[in-house]
Amino acid sequence: MTEQREDRRISRRTIAKGAAWAIPVVPLVVATPAYATSSGGPSGVITNACKQPGESCFKQYGFIKGYTFLVTITNPTAVDLYIYPTIDQQLDPYFAVTSSVPFSYSTARLYTGGVIGAPLPAALLIPAGGNVQIIINAGTNSNSANTDAIGRLVIAWGHTQTQGGDPDHPYTPAPPTNPPGEGWFTIPFSFASTPPCDNCAP
C-alpha cells in the first residue's frame, strides 16, 4: 500500500516536471521590407525643353550640342526610393523619340531654385512624399534645330541604392520595349518647338 502511494507521488512529480519543460512550438514570422510593387513608384513630368545650339555649355556643365529638358520627379509613396539616371550600361535611361529630329540621353544634373547643380549620382534619392527637379541633356547628333520634341523618357527606379538590387523589380523587358518591365517608369512629353536655352537651361 505504501509503495503504491509512493509510486503515484513519483509519477505525478515526473509528469509535472515534464510539463514544465514542454515549450509550445510557435511559428517564426520574419518581417520583410515592404518594397513591393504595391507601394507604387515615382512619377514625372517634363515641364520645359530647349535647344543647345553649340558647345558653349559643355565646359561648365558637360552639355553637348542637342536638347535640354527640365524634369520633375515625384515620389507619392510613404517610403524613400531611388531613380537611376546615369549612363553606365546597367539600367540606362532611355529617350524614345517620335519627333522629326532624333536625340538620345546624354547626362543630367540637379536643378534647384533655377540653378543648374551637380551631376547626378548613379542612384538619386527621391524622398518619401517629396520631389526632385533635374535637368537632362540629350544630344549625340549634330542637329540642334528649333524643332518639335515628342516622345517619352523611360527611367529605372527601385528602393535600393544598388541598381537592380530591388527584389520586386525584374527590370525586363528593358526599353525600347513599350511598355517596359516592372521597375521602369515612363514620362511622355510633347513640345511644338525647342527655343534656344537661356544660360544653358530651359
Has residue 144 been placed in a domain? yes
Has residue 104 been placed in a domain? yes
Has residue 72 been placed in a domain? yes
pLDDT value at 173 more than 70:
yes
What pLDDT is attached to residue 101? Answer: 80
Has residue 28 been placed in a domain? no
Has residue 116 been placed in a domain? yes
Q: What's the alpha-carbon Rg for the chain, to the nearest Å?
A: 29
What pLDDT is attached to residue 141? Answer: 59
Of the chain, the percentage scoring pLDDT greater than 70 comes to 78
Has residue 201 been placed in a domain? no
Of the chain, the percentage scoring pLDDT greater than 90 comes to 66
Q: Strand 131-139: give its sheet, edge to edge.
A: 43-52, 66-74, 131-139, 104-112, 115-119
Number of domains in the chain: 1
Task: Count CB atoms within 10 A of the CB of residue 50.
Answer: 23
d(CA 98, CA 116): 28
What's the pTM? 0.78
Question: Using one digit for the tens of pLDDT, what is the confidence trace for 181-190?
Answer: 999 999 999 9
Has residue 26 been placed in a domain? no
Domain that holds residue 87: 40-191
Q: What is the CATH number of the domain that holds 173?
A: 2.60.40
